[in-house]
Structure 1
Amino acid sequence: MSRLIVISNRVSRPGPSGNQGGLAVALAEALRESRGLWVGWSGDVTDNFTGQIGFHEDDGVRTATIDLEEQDVDEYYNGYANRTLWPLFHFRIDLAEYARDFEGGYNRVNRRFAECISPLIESDDVVWIHDYHMIPLGQMLRDRGFGGRMGYFLHIPWPPTRLLVSLPHHANLVRTLFAYDVIGFQTEEWLESFRHYVERELGGTVDGDRVTLGDRTIEAIACPIGVNARHFADAATSDDARAMYGQMRASLQDRALIVGVDRLDYSKGLEERFNGYARFLKDHPEHHRHVVLTQVAPPSREDVGSYQQIRATLDALAGRINGEYSDVDWTPIRYVNHGYPRDRLAGIYRAARVGLVTPLRDGMNLVAKEYVAAQDPEDPGVLILSRFAGAAMQLTDALLINPYSPEEMSDAIHRALAMPLDERQRRWRAMMDSVEQQDIGWWRRRFTSRLNGEDAPVGKDEFSATET
């Protein structure tokens, strides 16, 4: 069996299951099976880059990490990755910053990874590179002589051609993807945007999953990531989850809970969500004192100016809404700037009558799937989901909305709170079937089977763009 080499911006060393995401668990399982290696940035900063690699092994998973210089972090991570590619790929061209230093730092760090990793890779290894931080890394490994199978998965959206062409040297960046054998996207929409760009801008050709540019033909597939549905459902009935559920219900005093859980990011539509909830309070005064929105929003990328701005905006907006509508014994918004371990989060989901997942653009959005997995089958809550999240392609029994429309969000909240039990159960069952069938294990098997040159999973594992 070939050894799997996973490369990503950061690695997740095995620890308590409640503190690890589904992606980390799935990759760890694959790495154990192949005696593989997970490589990434340590998260630490060094005065001078040396290329020294730190090796660790935890619970059968081997990891290798390197330190970066402060300039690397500023230009590669805070700069090109999160101030150029992230906003552009989330259709926020107005926020994208184009600077030569950013692009130079991005390429420099990818070269440093290639230089450090190349000696660790054997000729029969299979390499799987993840996300927007490391698009050109595959080509750099090819330039250093690696000829084995190599795949790439993009966890965020791929933007339309008309937006991508605003990126300086966009063609050079996209051409590096043809160093891979398989590339994966979260949805058919993002895959189609990639195909369109290759045909229109690069003169390539598309034949089903096969995309050809010059003498290189690669496989490009839609492969939606999932959650560990059974583990998350079990977590929702754990002791910690039950305690959190009880704590939430006691604090609500029989009020209906609406919950949002998102990293603090402008792509998540939090400002629009607060405005939509405010419109709901305005439109439906009969719900005053009977409903609470709890928004969990841990901060991220606090060195990036646009993230500082969104936090200030939300602080002010939550204060204004609470000031306008609250009473001495009722606050309509609870806004929390820290996260929770998986089991406690599952308890919060289970306590919520409504899950409000309304990103402006999202590659997938696993919160939507976690919310579904955590529900009580006898009395499930209702998922309100942005039609611009990748998850909307699968969870079609959610209440799908345009997150830019406060009126549409207000109507959906009102409908969700009034929805009869039999309809809630029917919608939940259809979504749970999808979440269970196309879980994190299905995603890993589907991609790695293609990467290993095998047939894709069939039967219940087969994916189509219209499957629910």
Structure 2
Amino acid sequence: MSRLVVVSNRVPLPDKAGNPPAGGLAVALHAALRERGGIWMGWSGKSTGEDEPGPLSIRENGAIQYALTDLTDRDVAEYYNGFANRVLWPICHSRIDLTEYARREMAGYFRVNRLFADRLVPLLRPDDVIWVHDYHLIPLAEELRRRGVRNRIGFFLHIPWPPADIFFSVPVYEAILRGLCAYDVVGFQTDYDVENFAGCLRREGVGEPLGGGRFRAFGRSFVAGDFPIGMETAEFAAIAAKSPDDRRIREMARSLGGRDLLIGVDRLDYSKGIPQRIEAYERFLRSAPEYMGKVIYLQVTPASRSEVPEYASMQETVASEAGRLNGALGTVDWVPMRYINRSIRRPVLAGLYRLAKVGLVTPLRDGMNLVAKEFVAAQDPEDPGVLVLSRFAGAARELDSALLINPHDAEGTAKAIQRALSMPLDERRERWDHMMKRLLSHDVVQWCADFMAHLEPPTHRFLPEPAPAA
């Protein structure tokens, strides 16, 4: 069986006992790497503070090698904070207004991809299968091809792919598009993303679909399709089922004082629609005053990318809106919203999901949004909560039994919150059961196997081990 080589911007390292970090992607890819042996390469997250990146650091854990490289301060500023997160991220989330293009940052993005290619090539064997992840590394396959690499190379985009008119606003869109077409398999989260990608090829006149998921562009043929990422559904559900015994969850339940809990969990990002969600929650309370004092909305929002000005501004906005709401509607014995600006450990988070009557997942645009899937997986089958989900999240293509809303429509979202809180038990169970069956049959291990089945020859395919008989 050929080795698997995974390349991503950051590498989730195992703990001292060799266990992978919590989270679906890390769990699935570590399982595949342990099965086949291989390499996980990426940025260490550290900067040398000098003009040259540090040497490649190799760390071994069983059959897996972790290959980490430091970057220079200039690399971090131009490649990561610059082009990746101030051009590609906003463009892919349809926010042209937040795009700040600078030629030096574009040059830094391609320079770091060349660095990754230079450092990866000496580690490769002729039959290795390479799987590259996310928007930071779109040009990597083209750089590897230039260095004579003939291995099968796949790419998975974890964020949305935008319509042609939005994508073409990037000054170097053709180089990005050509880089994507250098892969053998290109995976997107949803069929809508595949349609947008195909539209870019047609509009630019550089490629065309050949049928059966195959495309031809820039003189190459390749596969492009939707591979919606899953989570470790059964494991997460088991963690949530044990949560009522957790002291912190019991304390949280007591603090609610019999009130219904609504929960939102998002990384701090303008794509998540948190200010719009707060506005919709306030409209709900004002339009349904009978719920005043009877509900609490918990928003968990760890800060991220604080070096990027747009994210620092977003942090101020969300904190300000939370304070304004509590000041306007709160009383001496009730605050309508609790805002936590830090991360929460996964077992506690699972318990909070299970405790909640309503899950609010309302991004303005999202590739998938695993929080929606986590909320569903964490529910008590006998008394499940209701998911209120943005139709602009990739998860809406699978979780169609959620209450789908337009996050730009505050009044419509407010009505969905009220409907969720008043939904009869039989309807809640029926909706939850439909979504949970989907999550169990399309978990993260199946997602990994589906992608690999397209990437490598049939004789070398990785398949997940079958579940033990009940």
Could you state the TM-score of these two structures normalised by the residue count of structure 2? Answer: 0.95
The 5 A counterparts of 1:178-327 are 178-208=181-211, 209-238=213-242, 242-327=246-331
Q: Residue 449 of structure 2 aligns to a residue in which SS? A: helix
Cα distance in 2 for partners of 1:241, 1:105 equals 50
Whether the 8 Å CA contact 1:129–1:152 is kept in 2: the answer is yes
Say whether the 8 Å CA contact 1:51–1:112 is kept in structure 2: no
Task: Provide the secondary structure at the position in 2 that maps to 1:73.
Answer: helix
Q: How far is the alpha carbon of 1:329 from its aligned partner?
A: 0.8
Aligned to 1:43: 45
CA contact (8 A) 2:244 2:250 kept: no
Deviation for aligned residue 1:13: 1.1
- Matches of 2:451 and 2:52, distance apart in 1: 34
Q: Which residue of 1 aligns with 2:435?
A: 431
Selected match of 1:101 from 90, 100, 104: 104
Cα distance in 2 between the residues matched to 1:221 and 1:228:
22
| Structure-to-structure mapping, 1:62-77, within 5 angstroms | 62-77=65-80
| 1:59 to partner: Cα distance | 5.7
1:190-216 CA distance string (max 9 Å, x none):
011001101111331102301101431
Point out the more displaced range, 96-105 or 11-20. 11-20
Letter in 1 for 2:2: S
1:405 corresponding residue in structure 2: 409
- The answer for the alignment partner of 2:89 in structure 1 is 86
For the aligned residue pairs, the C-alpha RMSD in angstroms reads 1.7
* 1:370, distance to aligned residue in structure 2 (A): 0.3
Shift of residue 179 of structure 1?
Answer: 1.5
**Cα offsets for 1:65-88 (capped at 9, x unmatched):** 000000000000000000110001
Distance 2:397 2:63 in 1: 36
Q: 1:360 aligns with which of 358, 361, 364?
A: 364
Q: Distance in 2 between matches of 1:23 and 1:357?
A: 20
Instruction: In structure 1, give the amino acid aligned to 2:141.
Output: G
Q: Which amino acid aligns with 1:320?
A: R
Runs of 5+ in structure 1 lacking a partner? 462-468
User: What is the CA distance between 1:442 and its match in structure 2?
Assistant: 1.0
Moved more, 247-256 or 11-20: 11-20
The residue aligned with 1:14 is 14
- Partners of 1:387 and 1:18 lie apart in 2 by 32
1:151 aligns with 2:141: no
Q: Map Cα deviations across residues 195-247 of structure 1 (whole Å, 9 max, x no partner).
A: 11011113311023011014310000100001100010011023587333312
Q: Please state if 1:340 is matched with 2:383.
A: no
User: Equivalents in 2 of 1:399, 1:73: separation in Å?
Assistant: 40
1:12 is paired with a residue whose SS is: coil
* Post-superposition offset of 1:315: 1.0
Task: Give me the whole-angstrom Cα distance separating, in 2, the residues matched to 1:398 and 1:122.
Answer: 46
Contact 1:187 1:223 (8 Å CA) reproduced: yes
What CA distance in whole angstroms lies between the structure 2 residues aligned with 1:387 and 1:78? 29
Q: Partner amino acid for 1:435?
A: L
Q: Compare 67-76 and 164-173 and name the one that shifted more.
A: 164-173
Cα separation, 2, equivalents of 1:241 and 1:300: 31
Amino acid at match of 1:237: A
Distance 1:387 1:378, change over 3 A: same
Classify the secondary structure of the residue corresponding to 1:38.
strand
Deviation at 1:34, TM superposition (A): 1.1
Partner of 1:135: 138
2:121 aligned partner, one-letter code: S
Amino acid at match of 1:43: G
- Asked if the contact 1:14/1:59 (under 8 Å) is kept, the reply is no
Return the alpha-carbon distance in structure 1 between the equivalents of residues 115 and 376 of structure 2: 41
For residue 465 of structure 1, what is the aligned residue in structure 2?
none
Q: Which runs of 5+ in 2 are unaligned?
A: none
Please report how far the alpha carbon of residue 123 of structure 1 lies from its aligned counterpart in structure 2 after TM superposition.
1.1
For this pair of structures, how many residues does the alignment match? 459
Q: In structure 2, what is the Cα distance between the partners aligned to 1:285 and 1:127?
A: 56
Work out the CA distance in 1 between the residues paired with 2:216 and 2:111.
Answer: 28
Question: Displacement, 1:248?
Answer: 1.7
The residue type paired with residue 234 of structure 2 is R
Secondary structure of the 2:151 match is coil
Conservation of the 8 A alpha-carbon contact between 2:38 and 2:63: no
- Residue in 1 aligned with 2:453? 449
Classify the secondary structure of the residue corresponding to 1:43. strand
Cα distance change, pair 84–308 in 1 and its aligned pair in 2 (3 A): same
Which secondary structure does the structure 2 equivalent of 1:345 belong to?
helix
Structure 1 residues 151-203: Cα deviation after superposition (integer angstroms, max 9, x where no partner): 00000000000101100020121011221100000000001100110111133
1:307-349 Cα deviation digits (max 9, x unpaired): 0111111111111100010011100000000111111110000
Identity, % of aligned positions: 50
Secondary structure, in 3 states, of the residue corresponding to 2:96?
coil
8 Å CA contact 2:6–2:40 kept in 1: the answer is yes
Q: C-alpha displacement at 1:363, in angstroms?
A: 0.2
Matching residue of 2:113: 110
Spell out, residue by residue over 1:363-384, the C-alpha distance to the aligned partner (whole angstroms, 9 max, x if none): 0000000000000000000000
**Alpha-carbon distance between aligned partners in 2 of 1:120 and 1:106, rounded to the nearest angstrom:** 22
What's the counterpart of residue 375 of structure 1? 379
| Secondary structure of the structure 2 residue equivalent to 1:20 | coil
The residue identity in structure 2 corresponding to 1:433 is K
